[in-house]
Structure 1
Amino acid sequence: MRKSIQVIQTSKYDTGKWNNKGNFDLLQGKSDTDNTIDIYPEDEYQEWLGFGGAFTEAAAYSLSKVSKENQKEIIYHYFNKEHGLGYTLGRTHIHSCDFSLENYTYVEENDEKLQTFSIDREKKLVIPLIKAAIKEAGEELSILSSPWSPPAWMKTNGDMNHGGKLKEKYRDLWALYYVKYIQEMSKEGINIWGVSVQNEPEATQVWDSCRYTAEEERDFVKFHLGPTLEKHGFDNKKIVIWDHNRDLMVERAEKILSDPEAAKYIWGVGNHWYVSEEFENLSKVHEMFPNKHLIFTEGCIEGGVQLGAWHTGERYARNIIGDMNNWLEAFLDWNIVLDEKGGPNHVGNYCDSPVIVDTNEDVVHYNSSFYYIGHFSKYIKPGAKRIATNSKIETLSYTAFKNSDGSIALVVLNETEQDIPYTLQIEGKYINLISTKRSINTILI
């Protein structure tokens, strides 16, 4: 029987982060207030796969511009299981994305046999970073790899940027390109866990981008990517569709997954947080296709670096909680590190990151988002299962998971400027707590 709790807190108005506020005994009985958060440990939902971030060329380049000591510190704080965020997932871009130093591919122009295919560019910065992360984590990372655009000569607009589409005659060749990437990364000792079909297939961006309608994405998986992976012995690789915002994910998933010949190749649906916080759309997809998986594949704070900002961490926590409570199984942040400008980015699409390095002063900044992610990733371990919660308190956001060892982590987010008292109730016991203004608490039970 559970007898005590530990409270870990990070607050805008308190010094230090992940502060241990102490251990407290649970009291026998039931609260006489309606201001409760009730937890039901036996009522289980989805299993959690883990947290991670993206190994972009921009992240690797930014890290290379600071001292070896700072590089090691950042990797330690992200991937160490005992004292860091405990990341177990990663994401890579298949050749260039906007957070690359320029447009680039792995083949020479018009090489329709992929004879010149080479990932030598990734061996300079990205692969060494991934290997260092794996070493710190002490285990293989599950890496999702996503293309932003096929080579320009494979596209209708003759340009890696500005949208365009994959030419029909190159669909098999482009599918083989994924295989080549998986094979070459494997030669470097890096196992690719899965691939998404296309990053943001509904967006025409000024950077690397390529559009697919739902029918085109369905048919690419059904007739090209799925069979090609299978043919080369990679039918164990996960295929993720959509990899875009929540607002249109229901329609996209329904159109693709309703086709059994396409669906048989597909592991799940990826979502981003831009545009919309319609968390309920994840549940809609889950209800239609309960055997498919839901994974958050990208999110960041747009508009450049915001050192010291608090709302950035709150956005992370609010989105993580909202998605978790609607069947999400994994969370992949975008760039793990960026420089003082929020780049480099080859089209100037600067963004924020949980870790910012000042490459001029050799200084590391940990943003509120880094600590807010840690309130989940440090305490909700891979293999944990979400458990039922219930509350009438509309001013708090919360979620709870039960780890494999039976311990429970309840995360409570308060984005208001008011202290909010509440009573935690579990298995016939209770305790009175206060969620202080602009704070996040992880209660370990």
Structure 2
Amino acid sequence: MKKMKFIITTCLCFSLSVFSQTNPKKQVQKFTTANKKITVYTTAADTNLKLTATDNLSFTASKQPVETEISVFVEPSKKFQTFMGIGGAVTDASAEIFAKLSKEKQTEFLNAYYDAQKGIGYSLLRTTIQSSDFSSGSYSYIEEGDKDLKTFSIDHDRKYRIPLIKDVIKTAGGKLLTYATPWSPNAFMKSNKSVLKGGKLLPEYFQPWANFYAKFIKAYNKEGIPIWGTSVQNEPMATQTWESCLYTAEEERDYIKNYLGPTLKKEGLGDVKIIAWDHNRDLMVQRANVIFSDPEASKYVWGLGFHWYETWTGAQPMFENVARVHEAYPDKKLMFTEGCVERFDAAKYQFWPNAERYGTSMINDFNNGTVAWTDWNILLDQFGGPNHVGNFCFAPIHADTVTGELIYTPSYYYIGHFSKFIRPNAVRVSSSVSRSYLLSTSFLNTDGKMATIVMNHTDNEITYNFIIAEEKAIVKIPAHAIQTLVY
């Protein structure tokens, strides 16, 4: 009996030994501040600081901070969503203005956005399916009345938009996450017989319109522009003077589950991500509840897209609604799909609150679970267009088509504090502040470097403790400034 026990014990030990060798426990490398320096990059109002390296700091021992101090705390072990990217939209307007630039300015522009060393390293791109308001006019890929899509052609896009997108992808290193959005089905498919001013997609054209997405995606794929995803409809609750189409939550749910989802799958495009909503934060929770509570619709939907224009009512941004969707549906992704500063005014090119709107939104959206963030037009002219219905807006960069010069707004630099230093596949970690004077978010990049963004929206310079575990640095941030700390 003792001999048998010895054999069993020996076999068990051998088995455990073999198991431990063939299934080694994955070692998770712990982030450490040991021997690290902090490089501080700053952009500040009323200074020449624009993504400028302003400090090189060391960590020292930290003790319990007191309430009279202002502190930023980072906890690297608490990890959240994986970051996908930051970018902007290549619209017809952007492409038309880009074509008017000199070759030298075109190169400068491409590098400014898409080169991670020379510029701010945009890593994703949105574009339109057919026309939007930011086109010189309304247009279609098919002849009016062609429900069989026999005349489908993207020749219109080959003049300006496709060449720019190809240049952008090349500058970004050969790959760029690209998704596309329709503003309206064709007039004959809609209840109001117009691509403008809302209206609804008529039931008899549900299938032809679903086929339209597939045609577009395949056509762009063939051009060497892989389409990663598509949203169902830009701003489906807004009757706009420009291209628009309305869907209630139930209508969008049913269109996804009965037409768009099955059609993309049937056409061999089942890997193309479907983004629902693509409208403001105010109604996003209700839209998520309706669509995601239906398993047949939800299975086709990658996540929810949202915009920031809920402030048109005079109310404050509804950042908490992003958090509500994330906590209710953690398996679904959240993507900011559009934002810009409305009502263009050339006197406000350097208006600092425009940039702070970007910084505030990006920090809050990321802290509430957002995985990607997309600005609207990457380039507009000195009038905030072209826009065929007069809806002129700001872009981070404008081009004066008379002088040929590029005009960089503060928004460009504020976005750059995120896009240049947070790279795709980074993971957000816990970041918090002790006073409302500051905002902060932090991401750990795949190369092991942490990027912490700190924003000061007050009129005063602030000195703050930057604390990680038992170490800290003392940092100064100017009034109305944003910093990225890389360490």
| Structure 1: stretches of 5+ with no match in the other structure | none
Distance (whole Å) between structure 2 residues aligned to residue 377 and residue 267 of structure 1: 23
User: 1:69 matched to which residue of 2?
Assistant: 104
- 8 Å CA contact 1:163–1:205 kept in 2: the answer is yes
Q: Secondary structure at the match of 1:83?
A: coil
Of 38, 62, 70, 2:73 maps to: 38
Is 1:153 the equivalent of 2:188?
yes
Answer whether contact 1:314 1:369 (CA < 8 A) is retained: yes
CA contact (8 A) 2:433 2:439 kept: no
What TM-score comes out, normalization by structure 2 length? 0.90
Q: Which aligned segments of 4 or more residues in structure 1 are displaced greater than 6 angstroms?
A: none
Indicate conservation of the 8 Å contact 1:410/1:443, yes or no: yes
**What's 1:284 paired with?**
324
Q: Which amino acid aligns with 1:429?
A: E
Give deviations 1:158-189, integer Å, cap 9, x for gaps. 00000000000100100000000011111111
| Matching of residue 304 in structure 1 with residue 337 in structure 2 | no
Instruction: For residue 149 of structure 1, give the secondary structure of its aligned residue in structure 2.
Output: coil
Structure 2 counterpart of 1:267, from 293, 296, 302: 302
Of residues 36, 39, 47, the one that matches 1:14 is: 47
Residue identity in the other structure for 1:239: I
Aligned-CA RMSD value:
1.0
What is the Cα deviation at residue 392 of structure 1? 2.0
The question of 1:97 aligning with 2:137 is answered no
State the AA in 2 paired with 1:326: N
| AA aligned opposite 1:65 | K
Residue identity opposite 2:477 in structure 1? S
Q: How many angstroms apart in 1 are the aligned matches of 2:126 and 2:457? A: 29
Conservation of the 8 A alpha-carbon contact between 1:304 and 1:350:
yes
Alignment partner, residue 13 of structure 2: none
Equivalent residue in structure 2 for 1:366, among 401, 405, 408: 408
Q: From 37, 43, 61, give the equivalent of 1:28.
A: 61
Name which one, 1 or 2, has greater alpha-carbon Rg: 2
1:135 corresponds in structure 2 to 170
* Preserved CA contact (<8 Å) 1:31 1:423: no
Kept in 1: contact 2:40–2:56 (CA 8 A): yes
Which of 315, 333, 339 in structure 2 is aligned with 1:293? 333
TM-score of the aligned structures, taking structure 1 as reference length: 0.99
Q: Which residue of 2 aligns with 1:231?
A: 266
Give yes or no for the alignment of 1:185 onto 2:227: no
1:208 to 236, 243, 252: 243
Q: Contact 2:432 / 2:441 at 8 angstroms: preserved in 1?
A: no
User: How far apart are the structure 1 equivalents of 2:253 and 2:381?
Assistant: 38
- State whether structure 2 residue 229 is matched by structure 1 residue 194: yes
Q: How many residues align?
A: 445
Residues in 1 aligned to 2:418 and 2:163: alpha-carbon distance in whole angstroms? 27
CA contact (8 A) 1:249 1:271 kept: yes
Letter aligned with residue 14 of structure 1: T
| Structure 2 unaligned spans of 5+ | 1-31, 312-316
Partner of 2:25: none
Per-residue CA shift, 1:326-367, capped at 9, x if unaligned? Answer: 000001110000000000000000000000000011111010
Tell me the residue number matched to 2:378. Answer: 336
Matched, 1:84 2:119: yes
Asked whether 1:315 is paired with 2:348, we answer: no
Cross-structure match for 2:91: 56
What per-residue deviation string (whole Å, max 9, x for no partner) do you get for residues 113-156 of structure 1? 10000000000000000000011111221111000000000000
* Aligned-partner Cα distance in 2 for 1:397–1:389: 9
Once residues 17 and 370 of structure 1 are traced to their aligned partners in structure 2, the CA distance between those partners, rounded to angstroms, is 10
Letter in 2 for 1:137: A
CA contact (8 A) 1:31 1:430 kept: no
Distance 1:55 1:32 in 2: 47
The CA distance in 2 between the partners of 1:396 and 1:377, in whole Å, is 20
* Counterparts of 2:204 and 2:369, CA distance in 1: 38
2:434 is the alignment partner of 1:392: yes
Which digits, 9 at most, give the CA deviation of each residue in 1:255-295, with x for residues without a partner? Answer: 11100000000000000011241111111111111110000
What are the superposed Cα offsets for residues 393-436 of structure 1, whole Å, 9 maximum, x if unpaired?
Answer: 11111111111122111111111111122101103101122221
Identity of aligned residues (%): 47
Residues 160 and 406 of structure 1: CA distance in aligned 2, closer, same or farther (over 3 Å): same
> Contact 2:433–2:440 (CA<8 Å) still a contact in 1?
no
